Amino acid sequence: MKNIINSSKINKDILNLLYLASELGSKENIPTYLVGGFVRDLLIDKSLNTDIDIMVEGNAILYAKKLSRVLGIGKVIKYGQFNTALIPHGEVNIEIAGSRKEEYNSDSRKPKIHYATVEEDMSRRDFTINAMALSLLKTNFGKLYDPYNGQKDLLEKKLVTPLEPDKTFSDDPLRMMRACRFAAQLNFKIDHKILESIKKQSKRIHIVSKERITEEIIKILKSDKPSIGFFLLKEVGLLKYVFPEIDVMPGVEVINGKGHKDVFIHTLQVVDNAAKLTKKTKIRFAALVHDIAKPNTKRFYPDKGWTFHGHEEIGRRMLKKVAKRMKLSNDLRDYLMIMTKLHLRPIALAKRNITDSAVRRVMFEAGDSVDDLMTLCRADITSKNPKKVEKYKANFERVDKLMKDIKTRDEMKSFQSPVRGNEIMKIFNLNEGRMVGQIKNAIEEAILDGQIENTYKAAYDFMIKNKNDYVD
């Protein structure tokens, strides 16, 4: 086969890096290989990972130190226990690992490391499509080592483990999550032996850190069709351990001939819709959790049928606990809480005559996330009736246009009372405290309700006119 390392798909900086690694390995007589996702993506003409994985037969840390000097980089992050090192190189991370065999304890993902050949190293990989290596030595530059027929599985678009699945997943249970993630990312089928193995071992996911689990969930959300990954997580029994609030969503209950949407299927439709509308992972995450409280709020009334009253507010509260368990950042937690709380508001606006006041309130509460909120609401249209879909879309366009008009007029993105707290204290001879806040709030409410313009003069005049409501 032709030398794929010379492919035009590899940018010049990366190609130069690989040639320098080749020269170093050849000079030091250290077998050096390009491995991992970069090789896989190169073979399937997929956009290439920015991270570079290099494997050497020997001391990886010593090789990394020498390569960093060649690259003119002083920093090397060493992981002596695993014979690996990381070289930060601009936007690219270069990971250097020694070829190795691994020995695991049943209650830990941290293995004991033993030196090994390239073929032995490939056997410990998660899937055959990731168990290929390209030589970087000058004598056989670009030669592909594929002991487990990974190239064949790439062509057939299927996920297969190099060894028996039970061993692969027992050694490292995170690989079970990665199976679902790769299926979503690459749109590959998972071998039935893998599915059965994961079903047997799904409970072992508990030994994996919450951070790594969350990382895989986010990678699923980044795929073109995230629903593939979440349906698989449900099928193999992982979802109840990694995201129990989503796991309890499936099912339709019918009483007196009245049913409701399957919340799980609806949720994943919304996630897929969001994936079509935006690359923003946080909006896709919001789509995943926007109905998180529906299973807890489901009630049946003979005259009304099924209701989910208050699910948006209860969902907002639930997300505090979810975010803590998943180790989400405070910023992402707050964002998801706002989006969940407000996701019905623009929909309600679209169903009736819109007033400036109602739109202002939604914009004020959403803040900088108002555009994201509208994207989420568009994704939330999952009706099978094309006429209804078009009607909702048209209504949203009206709401969106009005928001843009109001944003221009009132500069709502950074809305605060034009009359500041210090001035209020001076005018009314007040000390800092609750009364000052009440006056500012009254001004803001008047602007939000459209009673006065969002200008200093209008706010000041309103405050003076109504001063008897605040102070004696």
Percentage with pLDDT > 90 across the chain: 50
Q: At 413, is the pLDDT very low, low, confident or very high (cuts 50, 70, 90)?
A: very low
pLDDT confidence bin for 403, thresholds 50/70/90: confident
Query: Are 226 and 268 within 8 A, CB to CB?
Result: yes
Task: Please tell me whether residues 122 and 220 are part of one structural domain.
Answer: no
Region 361-375: mean pLDDT is: 91
Token readout for 431 is 């000390």
> What is the pLDDT, as a whole number, of residue 434?
83
Higher pLDDT, 447 or 208: 208
Q: What is the DSSP string of 152-213?
A: HHHHTTEE--SS-HHHHHHH-THHHHHHHHHHHHHTPEEPHHHHHHHHHHGGGGGGS-HHHH
Same domain, 44 and 141: yes
Res 305 pLDDT > 90:
no
Per the listing, tokens 């699923």 go with 220
| Residue pLDDT, tens place only, 122-159 | 888 999 999 999 999 999 998 999 999 999 999 999 99
pLDDT band of 302, cuts 50, 70, 90: confident
Quick: pLDDT tens for 86-126: 998 877 889 999 887 666 666 665 666 667 788 888 888 99
Q: What is the dihedral of CA 350, 351, 354, 358, to 10 degrees?
A: -80
pLDDT tens for residues 53-72?
999 998 899 999 999 999 88
Q: CATH number for the domain including 165? A: 1.10.110.30
Average pLDDT score, the chain: 87
Average pLDDT over residues 392-400: 81
pLDDT number for residue 1: 45
Residue 113 pLDDT: 63
The domain boundary residue, chosen from 154, 171, 190: 154
Residue located via tokens 């202002």: 360
Same domain for 147 and 41, yes or no, is yes
Split into its structural domains, the chain has a count of: 4
DSSP characters over 369-415: GHHHHHHHHHHT---S-HHHHHHHHHHHHHHHHHHHHHHHHH-GGG-
Torsion of CA 278, 36, 326, 260, to 10 degrees: 50
CA distance 440 to 459: 9
Q: Which residue has the higher pLDDT, 460 or 90?
A: 460
**Eight-state DSSP code of residue 258:** B
Picking from 120, 154, 188, the residue at the C-terminal end of a domain is 154
The reply to whether 99 and 223 lie within a common domain is no
Provide mean pLDDT across the span 304-328: 92
Report how far apart, in Å, the C-alpha atoms of 156 and of each of 151, 178, 217, 251 are.
9, 19, 25, 34
Model confidence pLDDT, tens digit, residues 204-216: 999 999 999 999 9
pTM score, two decimals?
Answer: 0.82
Q: Is residue 255 part of a domain?
A: no
- Range(s) of the domain holding residue 77: 1-154
Report the greatest alpha carbon distance in the chain. Answer: 92
In a domain, 317, yes or no: yes
Instruction: Tell me whether residue 448 is in a domain.
Output: yes
- In this structure, are 270 and 308 located in the same domain? yes
pLDDT of 364 reads: 86
Contact call for residues 131 and 148 (beta carbons, < 8 A): yes
Q: Is a pLDDT exceeding 90 seen at residue 401?
A: no
Q: Which helix (H) or strand (E) holds 35?
A: strand 32-35
Task: Note whether residue 283 is domain-resident.
Answer: yes
Same domain, 408 and 428: no
Q: Comparing 90 with 18, which gets the higher pLDDT? A: 18
Higher pLDDT among residues 157 and 421, named by residue:
157
How far is Cα 245 from Cα 292, in angstroms, rounded to an integer? 6
Q: Do 103 and 193 belong together in one domain?
A: no
Can you tell me the distance from the alpha carbon of 412 to that of 405, in angstroms, rounded to the nearest whole number? 10
Segment 170-188 shows an average pLDDT of 94
What is the percentage of the chain residues whose pLDDT exceeds 70? 91
